[in-house]
């Protein structure tokens, strides 16, 4: 994670930034085509870590008054805003495709002339893109995190304990089946 803005060198000394207009143009061109952050970064000649760092710094600097931001802070804020615009445009396009798929033939000439299979593929692609680009809004996936909660039967919370519990549950179920 990047250092807080107040601890950065205000004179901009240090190595030269990779966040150049050329890099941004390549990155946003790829991103506008729907490519992933990682692939867009690679095509722009930077690492996905650089992209992540610019986003984080842009988020941090957004809370600083514009007059107190360093030039790099301002570049990162602008980068973040541009990235949000490009991503929101993609989300809007996907939502439009899904809308078209629910009311076939009523919205656009291309949709009217598309085959049922093309419409189905477009809707599936839009759903996939939304679930991956904006998972907090469109994904049905659930996440389960294992923590250092007290382990079963006082043992260590390792995979073997989970396996032991599963075997005991299976044995209990089998015993219940035999009893019935």
Structural domain spans, the chain:
5-136, 152-180
CA atoms within 13 A on the CB side of 173: 6
The confidence score (pLDDT) of residue 2 equals 45
Question: Which alpha helices (DSSP H) does the chain contain, by range?
Answer: 21-32, 37-44, 48-62, 71-102, 109-113, 116-133, 135-138, 159-179
The confidence score (pLDDT) of residue 19 equals 92
The confidence score (pLDDT) of residue 78 equals 95
The phi, psi pair for 108, rounded to 5°, reads: -150, 145
The confidence score (pLDDT) of residue 109 equals 66
Q: pTM to 2 decimals?
A: 0.56
């Amino acid at each position: 994670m990047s250092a807080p803005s107040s601890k950065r060198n205000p004179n901009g000394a240090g190595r030269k930034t990779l966040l150049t207009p050329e890099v941004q143009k390549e990155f946003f061109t790829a991103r506008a085509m729907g490519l992933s952050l990682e692939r867009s970064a690679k095509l722009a000649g930077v690492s996905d870590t650089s992209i992540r760092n610019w986003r984080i710094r842009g988020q941090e600097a957004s809370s600083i008054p514009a007059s107190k931001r360093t030039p790099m802070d301002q570049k990162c804020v602008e980068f973040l805003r541009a990235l949000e615009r490009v991503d929101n445009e993609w989300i809007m396009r996907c939502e439009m495709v899904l809308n078209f798929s629910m009311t076939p033939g009523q919205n656009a000439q291309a949709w009217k002339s598309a085959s049922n299979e093309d419409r189905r593929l477009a809707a599936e692609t839009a759903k996939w893109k939304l679930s991956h680009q904006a998972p907090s809004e469109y994904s049905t996936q659930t996440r389960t995190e294992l923590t250092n909660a007290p382990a079963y039967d006082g043992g260590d919370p390792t995979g073997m304990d989970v396996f032991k519990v599963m075997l005991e549950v299976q044995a209990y179920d089998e015993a219940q089946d035999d009893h019935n």
